[in-house]
Structure 1
């Protein structure tokens, strides 16, 4: 049976068709409609139709921001807020005329990196997304662990600083409000009075202002991931998302994490992803 995966991202939606040996048959990327739920459903449906035009024997997996509530069947905890409260699984199945599997983007990322990427040789894998938001997924012996209520791995909404930065989820002090891309840009503005993109900030952080910003980033990164290791003690951590390209996370960042873990021995591998921004779409295909 062929495997079709769809990755619904904030800016792009990608679909991929794999054969039985996980070889790529075809793939396509299009722009994600902004804040328009109906157009998102239509876009995914059209991609599925286009990639499977001459194929009938295929399964479908979809990677989406947020998770499906076991109680309501609706999307919850999504930073693509037009999805919240929508029955995207049911709506897609009605539109496409076929059953689908659906998981959040961090779970799909973790699945792909555990089965095909940087963590293929490890048992318990914690997959980290650090980009516009902060998320995580847990894979145990190549099987996704979603948890009792589909929130396993959501380290981005652990409280890092009590009464800290306000998060879109309604709480204060979430990890996401300190080490996501937008949060880091906001912190630079707070410290300097000037806005720069994250790329611009990282291009020159050797001055005094840059050093303070970097120290704060590493401190928050260290505590956030150390908390995960203390609870989960994974065999490996894989970092994905736009911030995964920051080289010092694997050197100074790793040291900051290790310094804060509750153990006399800390050797958890902290790995850069191998599948890049295609991990989500591969992970979606692997759900079925």
Structure 2
């Protein structure tokens, strides 16, 4: 079952990598679609199939995995799948003569409790599966928010990114100071009734600062990477998308992944504070 976990995560990331700006995409022999159905006809051969919010019908051959998020998977009698078949939020319908080289995983409301019980058992290596799905869910939420923020408010993100790039030391120091002062400030607010009411506001400000800063860090990383790849004028949306993808992948590296994320959070928070949420460019003034 460990292979199922890795397959789901990698295939979802494949969908993000190959389809950042379209509702559906076909790259090579991989098929990724969002909001529409996929039909692999008899005689057709593809590498992998991923769909979000649609049905997958396989009558041909799929070399690796078939993954449906929020939709069913139908394997006809002529279907041949070399890897795993996964349906999250749907059902798997398989004909008698269909061939599947891997495992069948069906997670929906009818077997959610059994799936959760299996996830915390040794069969799926306990909580690693749950943590992986939680991490992926949080990342997808951040990615969607990042795309909206960059599309609607590109200037604040650009200002924070420039502050991080051009005045890194000041940004890092402000980020560390900001993190250190979060708890003492909350403690001071508890002294009065009015202060207690302001604690949620402090938390909102901190979360928004970290989110804006983290997005700016991703945009900066994406800009540097695309520049190295000699991609002219990629645009902030693409820079942010690829930068966050890279950050998420690095976060899965053993030992150093969490440290890279922590540094990104500190630097991002510092950038947001120095620029006053991307509205101030006083950091450009020479000392």
**TM-score (normalizing by structure 1):** 0.29
**TM-score (normalizing by structure 2):** 0.29
Greater percentage in helix: 2
